[in-house]
Chains A and B, each alone.
Chain A
Amino acid sequence: MSARILVVDDDLALAEMIGIVLRSEGFEPFFCGDGGQAIAEFRSVRPDLVLLDLMLPGMDGVEVCARLREETGTPIIMLTAKSDTVDVVGGLEAGADDYIVKPFNPKELVARIRTRLRPSQPAAGDLVRIGDLVLDVAGHEVRRGEERIALTPLEFELLLALALKPEQVFTREMLLEQVWGYQYKADTRLVNVHVQRLRAKIEEDPDNPRLVTTVRGIGYRAGG
């Protein structure tokens, strides 16, 4: 079954062109041109991934992103014309998994989408422990005791990558390659923002993290 992708963009020509590219790659695109209707459209379409333009009529893309994150962990990739503005960080903080800067080419777009849609790598064991958390790799679930913690697929992969090699310190570049699929140096803000979001969900005290710790000047690792 082909993956369903919701394209939220008010530029009809670009949306249609993205649709053509997606269809040619075997995806099934759906369209929404208004930020205000994006949530309703999402609920009716139930897509596997959302492509979200940041500049939208009706409701701001960052706002849409935050609303979507409240009810779903579905991957969200932002489309933006400005890579150096607060919008990008705002979108990432609102929960977007990744972003693509316009103009992009078809290969880039498809590569980003495939990375976010790919099934998680089968891990060594089905259950991975990190601190007092248990990661159920097959079920894509994280539990602390009986309590289930809701993570987005991206956050789960980020945590899993760290938890599988607790002895290793991951640089931001390594995480960008392993979790986001970037082969060359990309925006390290992606890692920083998502580590913050992950900590907010799994740490007892996010300001004093114990599960995902910062290694000054290098990157992150699992545990202390």
Chain B
Amino acid sequence: MRAWLSPRAWGRRIARLWRSSLQLRTIVMTVGLAAVAALSIGSAIAVSVSGSLFDARRDQVLTFSTNATVAAQRVFDSTPGEDAEIDSILNEVIRTIQTAVATPEGTAYAIQLAPGEPPSGFSANANSPGLDLDAVVSPELRQSLVDEAEDRVNWQSIGLRRADGGVSPGIVTASPLAIHGARYALYLIYDIRDAQETLGVVQLALSVGGLALVVLIGAITWVVVRLVIGPVHRAAVTSQRLAAGELDVRLPVHGDDVLATLARSFNGMAASLRGQIKELAELSTVQQRFVSDVSHELRTPLTTIRLAGDLLYDRRESFDAETGRTVELLHTQVQRFEGLLADLLEMSRFDAGAAEMELEPVNAVRLAEQVMGAMASLAAEKGSELVLIAPGGFAEAELDPRRIRRILTNLLGNAIDHGEGRRIEVWVDSDADAVALAVRDYGIGIAAEQLDRVFDRFWRADPSRQRTTGGSGLGLAISLEDAALHGGWLEAWSAPGEGSCFRLTLPRRQGETLSASPLSLPPVAEVEPEYVHSTETAPAKEPA
């Protein structure tokens, strides 16, 4: 059996619907209560009607029986007591009775010697054809004629077996007849099926009416609930859309009731929210544009300075020592300024969401080798040895090589700056989903409270420290953005005195989510790494 078909699943589904839908709860409860009320009232009416109907029929039947008894008695009394003529007398009596008790369903009759009466010389016993008297007349009724001396009519409710096998309600009456001195009983059996049918019609009308009432109440409840809950539900949906960023959604305001007040306050809130967000967005756009424009505007004069500086720098040999040094400083600082400007512009691109990736299949180990090769001379100046440890990472990953190269250059530059001339390791490893690059130095390290801030813009670990790579202070911030653009992580670890490690983890295919990094932080060699080379033993090639 499919899960959604199992009773338990259905139960859960209904329970959830019950909890979540105020409409359902209200309608079900109202309809339930209305049904109980309709049922009680209907039953009371049905009982009362059936009682009245029966009483009316019984009274009518008793009148019939009384009349028939009187008429029959008169016939017997007016005829001579000749036993020989009893049959013809009986026939006349029966005619008389039948005239007196004519009912639509027909009435059976029986005349019998009363119980306990000694048989007389003649028999006046007679009954309707096919009548099984014992089946319809109970001993109690027979006995009642004996017990009560008066000439009254006794009656009893019975069920009449019909020819088609059904049972109709009936009334049997018993009244005494004195026939030529002998006590006889006149039994009249009435079929009151028509009363039963009338009752049925009434009950049907009551049921249909009750059901219609319940349905009507349900419908009315539904309409009322919709009128009240509809706006509330709309408000809920609208606030969800507002929360999702559709700042232009509003609630319709009708009339002056509490729902209209709700709608008005909601709309006021939405308008104020949109105003503030718009203001912030505009402010942010203006600020980003400003940074971008400033960066661009600075470029033209910077170009002039650069051209002038380079021209002088090329001729520095012809100047005296002091002027020559000045020209050198001018040259390097203009370069630094240029780098800063480029970083600033790159940052404004990230802020504006305008950064785009150019993805290529990249071999992370080769890329690391290239960057290490480019940085080798700088590392050598500081006395640091660059070591590549690559247990994996040879398979190609889908990356933007320019950005990854920039991250790695930046991390290596920092490591060389803060590495105290000790060895610097570049780790590369990969698994099925991710490729990781880590740069580990054994320098002074970063204090824990400062480690959280290393990715902040223009933040420096130690403002007084001399910098050789001429960083802008935006390097790690840009690296973090580059990593984020790939859907990757850039994380830092450090212990004062033991050095630092920056680990970059990137998904091997774009659009996939990272769950774990192939390298630990800081990386630890589990076994002797297979692929290790250092700048001393195997100088990395210049990038192609």
Q: Is the CB of B307 within 8 A of A18?
A: yes
Q: How far is the CA of A17 from the CA of B300 in the complex (A)?
A: 11
Count of chain A residues with Cβ under 8 Å from any Cβ of B?
18
Q: Is the CB of B311 within 8 A of A103?
A: no
**What is the chain B residue whose CB lies nearest that of A9?**
B300
**Majority SS at the chain A contact face:** helix
**Majority SS at the chain B contact face:** helix
Q: How far is the CA of A14 from the CA of B306 in the complex (A)?
A: 10
What per-residue 1/0 map shows which CB atoms of A97-114 lie under 8 Å from chain B?
000001111110100000
Q: Is the CB of B349 within 8 A of A103?
A: no
Asked whether any CB of chain B lies closer than 8 Å to the CB of A124, the reply is no
CB under 8 Å from chain A, chain B span 274-318: 296-297, 299-308, 310-311, 314
Candidates B303, B310, B354; contact of A102 at CB < 8 Å? B303
Q: How far is the CA of A28 from the CA of B111 in the complex (A)?
A: 153
Q: How far is the CA of A20 from the CA of B310 in the complex (A)?
A: 12
Q: Is the CB of B300 within 8 A of A11?
A: yes
Q: Is the CB of B310 within 8 A of A107?
A: yes
Asked whether any CB of chain B lies closer than 8 Å to the CB of A2, the reply is no
What per-residue 1/0 map shows which CB atoms of A1-22 lie under 8 Å from chain B?
0000000000101100110110
Q: Is the CB of B307 within 8 A of A105?
A: yes
CB under 8 Å from chain B, chain A span 77-101: 81-82, 84
Q: Is the CB of B303 within 8 A of A103?
A: yes
Candidates B303, B308, B354; contact of A104 at CB < 8 Å? B303
Looking at B296, B301, B307, the one whose CB has the most chain A CB atoms below 10 A away is B307
**What is the chain A residue whose CB lies nearest that of B315?**
A24
A21-B311, A105-B310, A106-B311 given; A13·B296 CB < 8 A: no
A81-B296, A84-B349 given; A106·B303 CB < 8 A: no
Q: Is the CB of A81 within 8 A of B311?
A: no
A/B pair count, beta carbons within 8 Å: 50
Asked whether any CB of chain A lies closer than 8 Å to the CB of B338, the reply is yes
Residues of the B chain whose Cβ atoms lie less than 8 Å from the Cβ of A21: 307, 311
A11-B304, A14-B304, A17-B304 given; A102·B311 CB < 8 A: no
Candidates B300, B314, B338; contact of A14 at CB < 8 Å? B300
Q: Is the CB of A106 within 8 A of B300?
A: no
Q: How far is the CA of A18 from the CA of B304 in the complex (A)?
A: 8
Q: Is the CB of A102 within 8 A of B299?
A: yes
CB under 8 Å from chain A, chain B span 296-350: 296-297, 299-308, 310-311, 314, 338, 341, 349
Residues of the B chain whose Cβ atoms lie less than 8 Å from the Cβ of A20: 307, 311
Q: How far is the CB of A25 from chain B (nearest CB, A)?
A: 11
Residues of the A chain whose Cβ atoms lie less than 8 Å from the Cβ of B302: 102-103
Candidates B299, B310, B354; contact of A106 at CB < 8 Å? B310
Q: Is the CB of B311 within 8 A of A104?
A: no
Q: How far is the CA of A13 from the CA of B304 in the complex (A)?
A: 7
Residues of the B chain whose Cβ atoms lie less than 8 Å from the Cβ of A14: 300-301, 303-304, 307
Q: How far is the CA of A103 from the CA of B304 in the complex (A)?
A: 8
Q: How far is the CB of B122 from chain A (nearest CB, A)?
A: 128
Candidates B299, B307, B349; contact of A81 at CB < 8 Å? B299
Q: How far is the CA of A26 from the CA of B42 in the complex (A)?
A: 116
Residues of the B chain whose Cβ atoms lie less than 8 Å from the Cβ of A103: 299, 302-303, 305-306, 338, 341
**What is the chain A residue whose CB lies nearest that of B337?**
A103
Q: How far is the CB of A47 from chain B (nearest CB, A)?
A: 20
Residues of the B chain whose Cβ atoms lie less than 8 Å from the Cβ of A11: 300-301, 304
Q: How far is the CA of A11 from the CA of B306 in the complex (A)?
A: 15
Closest 3 CB pairs of A and B: A103-B303, A102-B299, A81-B299
| Cβ contacts A to B, 5 pairs, < 8 Å | A13-B304, A17-B307, A21-B307, A84-B349, A102-B299
Known: A14-B303, A21-B311, A104-B307; 4 extra A-B contacts, CB below 8 A, are A14-B304, A20-B311, A81-B297, A102-B300
Interface residues of chain B, those whose CB is within 8 Å of chain A, are 296-297, 299-308, 310-311, 314, 338, 341, 349, 354
